Structure 1
């Protein structure tokens, strides 16, 4: 059962903005960070297993999902890192395992570098890193005038076409993914928020911390779909070579949306590691 139907969404006021999150289970906290263009529901098929043994917190990043979408606030991964650390404080979480996907992985790397005492174990899933992002598929949308000339309907269609390109094979519930991930963007406010997020995608944040990654003390699991066309598989061994106490686990026959494609494999890997 998808957790979006059974887990209550709660809100915390961080820097004056409502941050939506799900908080379920008891035990050592595990923080789940999504990427773009998804939201907390990325983890809906992982939370039921993880929450049997851990307290699981899955927030929507600022400007994503059910969190506030302010028009004049920094939404770079650097700013998101700061907000997530404050969310942990607001929820009384001194430290947590951090499990992160896509640009959430960039946020998690910044957390581990900037606030290492807040991070226990680290899991990077098909994560942005080094110069791996923004992906070429997003570049046309950054062209001058594209946002202004693109209707909500056309934009939603672009995202609906984009999502299936991140799966491998035909056994994945793409229609459910599109509904959960695209709905927050499918109005004028959401469309504007998406483009603000796009404009703040900047590889300089991850390139700047490469040196610091060499000194990370955290035990780190690198989970990667071996068919990922968005975050290329070549980056997994690059991360493993950079982070001292790290190992790679390949999700075979999966692309970018591994929690949708193979939730059982992801859940089993997380339970075994955490």
Structure 2
């Protein structure tokens, strides 16, 4: 991946760190000192999604934000599996390589299933959870526009060839249009057929049926959620999300009735963009309690 353009680097002024794993080089941000907070992004974003939260927290916390393989500044192998369990294994490897004894989790989109899979693998290490428009359990609810991207051959052609996922997401995932440099930051890593491989593979990996290769992994993540009912949790939710709508919010609340909830009726899927300072303040206060 080429160096970041100056307009993006100005928004994302972090030193790059790398972990060599079997899939390739995993890129991550590691800023600040104090209690560790791991921030896990989804599809089609990258650690850039957490740039302002990292800036807010790094004075009091150690902020760790990896780019999943195929995403952001991480390697984008063309022959890797891109399955849920493999992404989980990668973040477990990162935690182990950093020697973290404990950490809090902030998760969004696919980061929910990956992050709760990390928690299931290392349950005693996770102290607090921040949930942002995501799921970590089975569901048959999938928007038609995303279902179309799962269609064999056609889905790969439109996602990788026409950028019909990352491109539209930069508009559909927000209520307020992104400033041009921010939009450029979200799209920068996904500028070619080869570099959009994870964008397509994440969609293909949504397990709707038991025979899907990632169904068993998601079921295990779902079954592991109950053990965290007594851990502090904050749900920060954009209620104008076209994908993770209030049905998913209700599912989180049913599973974690003790969780604090901060709702943003006018925010979309990229809740940290639309809700901005207010959302980050709620997260910072929660992590500082």
TM-score, length of structure 2 as denominator length: 0.84
Aligned counterpart for 1:222 among listed residues 215, 227, 235? 235
* 1:147 CA drift (Å): 5.3
Q: Which residue of 2 aligns with 1:267?
A: 280
Q: Which residue of 2 aligns with 1:73?
A: 80
Question: In the aligned structure 2, how far is the partner of 1:166 from the partner of 1:187?
Answer: 21
Q: Does 2:149 match 1:137? A: no
* 1:136 CA drift (Å): 3.2
Q: Does 2:255 match 1:242? A: yes
Question: In the aligned structure 2, how far is the partner of 1:58 from the partner of 1:31?
Answer: 6
Q: Does 2:195 match 1:210? A: no
Aligned counterpart for 1:252 among listed residues 265, 269, 281? 265
Q: Deviations over 1:195-239 (max 9, x none)?
A: 233322325344444343223242221111122111012221321
Q: How does 1:9-24 map to 2 (within 5 A)?
A: 9-15=16-22, 17-24=24-31
Aligned counterpart for 2:202 among listed residues 185, 189, 197? 197
CA contact (8 A) 1:134 1:201 kept: no
* 1:249 CA drift (Å): 1.6
Aligned counterpart for 2:180 among listed residues 170, 175, 181? 175
Q: Which residue of 1 aligns with 2:92?
A: 85
Question: In the aligned structure 1, how far is the partner of 2:252 from the partner of 2:157?
Answer: 39
Identify unmatched segments of 5+ residues in structure 1: none
Q: Bigger shift: 238-247 or 119-128?
A: 238-247
Q: Which residue of 2 aligns with 1:116?
A: 123
Residues 257 and 175 of structure 1: is their aligned pair in 2 closer, same or farther, counting only changes over 3 Å? same
TM-score, length of structure 1 as denominator length: 0.89
Identify unmatched segments of 5+ residues in structure 2: 1-7, 209-214
Q: Deviations over 1:156-182 (max 9, x none)?
A: 3653223211112x3x42533431222
Q: Bigger shift: 124-133 or 106-115?
A: 124-133
Number of equivalences? 271
Q: Deviations over 1:100-155 (max 9, x none)?
A: 11110111121222321221111110012333465432221222322565596x52
Aligned counterpart for 2:109 among listed residues 102, 124, 130? 102
Question: In the aligned structure 1, how far is the partner of 2:283 from the partner of 2:267?
Answer: 16
CA contact (8 A) 1:7 1:22 kept: yes
Residues 16 and 163 of structure 1: is their aligned pair in 2 closer, same or farther, counting only changes over 3 Å? closer
Question: In the aligned structure 2, how far is the partner of 1:138 from the partner of 1:29?
Answer: 34
Aligned counterpart for 2:35 among listed residues 19, 28, 37? 28
Question: In the aligned structure 2, how far is the partner of 1:126 from the partner of 1:42?
Answer: 13
Q: Bigger shift: 218-227 or 245-254?
A: 245-254
Q: Bigger shift: 65-74 or 48-57?
A: 65-74
Residues 88 and 158 of structure 1: is their aligned pair in 2 closer, same or farther, counting only changes over 3 Å? closer
Question: In the aligned structure 1, how far is the partner of 2:286 from the partner of 2:147?
Answer: 36
CA contact (8 A) 1:240 1:247 kept: no
